[in-house]
Structure 1
Amino acid sequence: MSLSVRFERIVKEFGPVRVLHGVDFALEPGRVVGLLGENGAGKSTLMKILAGYERPTGGALLVDGVARHFADARDAEALGIALIDQEFNLAEDLTITQNIFLGHVKRNGWMLDRKAMRAAAALCLEQVGLAVSPDTTVAELIVAEKQLVEIAKALSRNARLLIMDEPTASLSAGETHKLFALMARLKSQGATIIYISHKLDEMEANTDEVVVMRDGLFVTRAPTADINRRQMANLMVGRDVSDMFQPKALAAPDAPVLFKVSGLEVPGWVHGLGFEVRAGEILGFGGLVGAGRTEAFEALIGLRARTAGAIEIDGAPVDLRSPRQAMLHGVTYLSEDRKGKGLHVDLGLRENLTMMTLERDAKPWLDIKAGRAALARAIADFGIRLRDPECAARSLSGGNQQKLALAKYLRSDPRVIVLDEPTRGVDVGAKRDIYLLIHQLAAQGRAVIVISSELIELIGLCHRVAVLRGGRLRAMLASADLTEEELIAHATDTHH
């Protein structure tokens, strides 16, 4: 089952821009290799070359000692190389079984062998710990379940080399534990796993060695046992990142309540939820996947039905039934699903940035020059790294897509900002930039709500954290009470 890979002076250029500068290193078979680097470091481009999605401009890719020139991903899959991308590549209206075998159908003579495909799909779902019917359509799944389907799809190809790009970004602690157990089993069977993640604790616990890239260059490699998390982070960004979180500027206790919710009911998800956020406050929402956090805020801004619930903005009752209404009342919500709901990835950066403010920008015609100037400001203000300002949003790395989404949703100058998993799939340096931005928004007197599955993020950022379990508010923890143990205990009903 083993498979070895060597990158020999790999160069990749997109037009006049070089993004890989002679990357040169080897991957030994039967090991879990952590690939580290900031967004834009070239990790994903290098892995897409290995998986057949991109072709190198120069250099050679050797697989088991043989130079390979993949025409497409199917060529790579034929050798047992599979990529699980952080941005899902699933057909929403097809079933899980149909997605897993799309382009790789099983036949019984001339007929499709639906029974065999369904049974094989069920086995793959069992391996990744996803307890849903293989006949379920992908559109019915939550983000975490879609991630597990992507992993199941790769397993169905009998991969000998598995590239996992941020696979745990949307998984719960239990699902993450099952994934690591699966990785250990695949490694014991001789598979090579390339693990890309910005969660350095996962790197520390689950990889044999780490390879660090920066600015399209190979920087270093080291056995994981010889390098700690802080050293990993410093190597990634080329500077000390010990100051990840800024000191919290305490919100004034008599600051006005900007956003208040009471008695929120979302059928099947949320029951009797009430909370309030003051000007200058960062309020966190914690809980396990499925606790109802995302569903609550989707209902509050009109993205899903609610059967009860009162909303007040600045003490005045409002009835928000659409994101447009919410925006007009100064409330904005950035979805955890930036590709599906946050951005139109096939449109350009300028079109994405100005989409929510068309009425303000069109007087009566769109001013393209002003739009380009706004994009230039956003690129500078949010640190968006890109090859070409005229490119489609799809061509940006995951972290830079997130920065573009933040710029888009803040362009309407909202007073209440809801950020759902704002640093999912974002590197250490970009995380610090986003945390600084969140602090700045609060310092400007805005109310900021952060939904996050990262406990350290909630503890480091928030003045208070609301913990949901089973769709109900189980605890409201003040800053002094914020510990990982307290958050986990309330989220899992083990608090005494």
Structure 2
Amino acid sequence: MTATAFPDAVRMTDVSKHFGGVRALDGVSLDVRPGEVHALLGENGAGKSTILKILRGVQPPTSGTVAIGGTPLTTFTAEAARAAGVSMAFQEMSLVPTLTVAQNVFLDREIKRGALIDDRAAIAESRRLFAAMGVAIDPTRRVADIPAGHRQLTEIVKATSQPCKVLVLDEPTTALSANEVERLFDYVRQLRSRGVAVVYVSHRMDEIFRIADRATVLRDGKHVVTAPLADFTLDSMIAAIIGRRSRGFSDVARGTAAIGDVLLEARGLSGQVKPRDVDITLRRGEVVGVAGLLGSGRSSLARLLCGVQPAAAGEIRVKGEPVSIASPRDAIRAGIALVPEDRARQGFVAFHSVESNVALPNLAAVSKGGFVDPRRVAALAEAAIKRLRIKTDSRGAAVRTLSGGNAQKVVIAKWLATEPDVLILDEPTAGIDIGSKSEIVTLIRDLARDGKAVLVLSSELQELLAACDRILVMSDGRVVRDIARHDLDDPGNPESVDALQHAEQKLNQAMQEARGGPAR
């Protein structure tokens, strides 16, 4: 019997969800088959999160029905959905930082020997689960002490550590390198072969075409289309998502960089572990990218430059003068600002307003006589909203109510308000939709034209290619290549979509050669 002969793993019929007068979902139907990878696509605010919350039992629908494996879901709680066979790896991870990897994997489902928790068995089983995915993560380490990519893989292993009929993967690759993505895809194919239905949510179009069997697109809370991937082209998929034709990152005009004087230099910069003996130079009007596989030391480099981590050796110069950067405050005084990788935990205060988030690192500028001046705060926020075209009902709206792209703009805005000469962005478009990605990259190019020096660290190669004038390749904590962006262009047609893919292949090859492995 074929997989499609069984009842649908998920059947959501005419589902609507209202929040007061706001209709987040409007009569949406979704069916996912056993042994299928089904992509759920849409811009931030399209209704994806709402439909996933209903599927996970976190919220009941206002109307409509939900069935798992042919059985109606009548009680909408996380426990009921889990019992029905639904498991989810969250984009905003559900891990407890102070617990070990193994303790997180089996949280609320602890392995016991008699009445006691059997930590040894949990560690051994965690190792087996990570081995099945093809990754080596120490299950005895605290989650707070492991890199973001390892936390993401731990979240996925936690979701798959229990039998499930339906696995929801929400932006599962935002912190993963190309090699780690390959291992995850192999693992997803194993699950698919065992009849598990996978709902795959991602804003990375290349991943969708590689891993999904069918796709459903939502827009403004409504169903737009469901079709096999073979029926889509990249252009038609983006058009369905955003409601108009777009070439994604290829729409971003890089233009010719007007490179000026040196703003930031690092010589022999080393951390306690990584990076190692790094030399970099950033000039006014220049966007420099940093590419590297998981563990290459990209984020550690950013944290050293911004005083989040102490340097073990080396020198940092700003505008030719040596500076001591032992804290983020020192970096801000030196004109360096960091937009961190984990915006939800490190970038903003979710329940605070746009204006209070923008004001946080700028309290001295908005204070008078030792007291915060509400008029100055309002003026600063309004200027930021206008400058970055942040879509919000008002400056008093909580950041948690904004789309991912607009929330990221708030993080960028608050640091731009400090008037830095050097802006460092770590994974600036992770987890946001294709339209917002292009907006962020366009903003980066605009900042360079305004005379900033911008350092962009990203695992998304097309983002680096669209944004950057030069790209540094890191491996094992060291900068091993410094590649001019134009050296990656297709001389025959440097502005085409195919040319961007051509450049991506060349950059990926350089990264793999730096690691000593074959290019994919």
TM-score range, shorter chain: over 0.9
Question: SS state of the match for residue 258, structure 1?
Answer: strand
* Paired letter, 1:413: E
Q: Does 1:344 align with 2:349?
A: yes
Question: SS state of the match for residue 241, structure 1?
Answer: coil
Q: Which moved more, 1:13-22 or 1:30-39?
A: 13-22
Q: Does 1:105 align with 2:125?
A: no
- Equivalent residue for 2:211, pick from 206, 215, 218: 206
Q: Does 1:72 align with 2:77?
A: yes
Question: SS state of the match for residue 77, structure 1?
Answer: helix
Is the Cα–Cα contact under 8 Å of residues 250 and 281 in structure 1 kept in the other structure? no
Rounded to whole Å, the distance in 2 between the matches of 1:387 and 1:196 is 27
* Paired letter, 2:66: L
Rounded to whole Å, the distance in 1 between the matches of 2:403 and 2:60 is 18
Rounded to whole Å, the distance in 1 between the matches of 2:33 and 2:189 is 16
1:457 paired residue number:
463
Distance 1:205 1:341, change over 3 A: same
- Equivalent residue for 2:44, pick from 39, 42, 47: 39
* Paired letter, 2:37: V
Cα distance, 1:69 vs structure 2:
3.6
- Equivalent residue for 2:363, pick from 333, 358, 363: 358
Q: Does 1:30 align with 2:50?
A: no
Is the Cα–Cα contact under 8 Å of residues 343 and 405 in structure 1 kept in the other structure? yes
Q: Does 1:484 align with 2:504?
A: yes
Rounded to whole Å, the distance in 2 between the matches of 1:72 and 1:297 is 41
* Paired letter, 1:73: A
Cα distance, 1:16 vs structure 2:
3.1
Is the Cα–Cα contact under 8 Å of residues 105 and 161 in structure 2 kept in the other structure? yes
List per-residue Cα deviations over 1:40-80 (Å, max 9, x = no partner): 11111111110112222232222334432444212211111
Q: Which moved more, 1:16-25 or 1:193-202?
A: 16-25
Rounded to whole Å, the distance in 2 between the matches of 1:200 and 1:183 is 17
Is the Cα–Cα contact under 8 Å of residues 13 and 66 in structure 2 kept in the other structure? yes
Cα distance, 1:390 vs structure 2:
4.9
1:402 paired residue number:
408
Distance 1:56 1:368, change over 3 A: farther
Distance 1:478 1:413, change over 3 A: same
Cα distance, 1:121 vs structure 2:
2.0
- If asked which structure has higher relative contact order (CA below 8 Å, sep 6+), I would say 1
Is the Cα–Cα contact under 8 Å of residues 82 and 162 in structure 1 kept in the other structure? yes
* Paired letter, 1:325: D
Question: SS state of the match for residue 239, structure 1?
Answer: coil
Cα distance, 1:273 vs structure 2:
1.1
- Equivalent residue for 2:291, pick from 281, 286, 289: 286
Cα distance, 1:315 vs structure 2:
2.0
Rounded to whole Å, the distance in 1 between the matches of 2:390 and 2:28 is 24
Q: Which moved more, 1:199-208 or 1:22-31?
A: 22-31
Is the Cα–Cα contact under 8 Å of residues 267 and 277 in structure 2 kept in the other structure? yes
1:164 paired residue number:
169
Question: SS state of the match for residue 468, structure 1?
Answer: strand
* Paired letter, 1:328: R
Is the Cα–Cα contact under 8 Å of residues 39 and 400 in structure 1 kept in the other structure? no
Cα distance, 1:306 vs structure 2:
0.6
List per-residue Cα deviations over 1:88-131 (Å, max 9, x = no partner): 11100101111111111233332323343333222222222331
Is the Cα–Cα contact under 8 Å of residues 423 and 434 in structure 1 kept in the other structure? yes
List per-residue Cα deviations over 1:279-300 (Å, max 9, x = no partner): 1111111111211111112011
Q: Does 1:232 align with 2:237?
A: yes
Is the Cα–Cα contact under 8 Å of residues 80 and 157 in structure 1 kept in the other structure? no
Question: SS state of the match for residue 371, structure 2?
Answer: coil
Rounded to whole Å, the distance in 2 between the matches of 1:17 and 1:120 is 45
Q: Does 1:327 align with 2:347?
A: no
Is the Cα–Cα contact under 8 Å of residues 127 and 152 in structure 1 kept in the other structure? no
2:186 paired residue number:
181
2:492 paired residue number:
none
Rounded to whole Å, the distance in 2 between the matches of 1:186 and 1:148 is 15
Is the Cα–Cα contact under 8 Å of residues 312 and 318 in structure 1 kept in the other structure? yes
Cα distance, 1:355 vs structure 2:
0.7
2:300 paired residue number:
295
Distance 1:114 1:469, change over 3 A: closer
Q: Which moved more, 1:235-244 or 1:196-205?
A: 235-244
Is the Cα–Cα contact under 8 Å of residues 331 and 415 in structure 1 kept in the other structure? yes
Rounded to whole Å, the distance in 2 between the matches of 1:479 and 1:405 is 27
Question: SS state of the match for residue 359, structure 1?
Answer: coil
Structure 2 unaligned spans of 5+: 489-502
Cα distance, 1:151 vs structure 2:
0.6
Is the Cα–Cα contact under 8 Å of residues 486 and 495 in structure 1 kept in the other structure? no
Question: SS state of the match for residue 255, structure 2?
Answer: coil
Q: Percent of aligned pairs with the same residue?
A: 37
Question: SS state of the match for residue 135, structure 2?
Answer: coil
Cα distance, 1:168 vs structure 2:
1.0
CA RMSD of aligned residues (A): 2.3
Rounded to whole Å, the distance in 1 between the matches of 2:390 and 2:42 is 16
* Paired letter, 1:472: R
Cα distance, 1:145 vs structure 2:
0.2
Question: SS state of the match for residue 364, structure 2?
Answer: helix
Distance 1:8 1:486, change over 3 A: closer
Question: SS state of the match for residue 363, structure 2?
Answer: helix
* Paired letter, 1:200: M
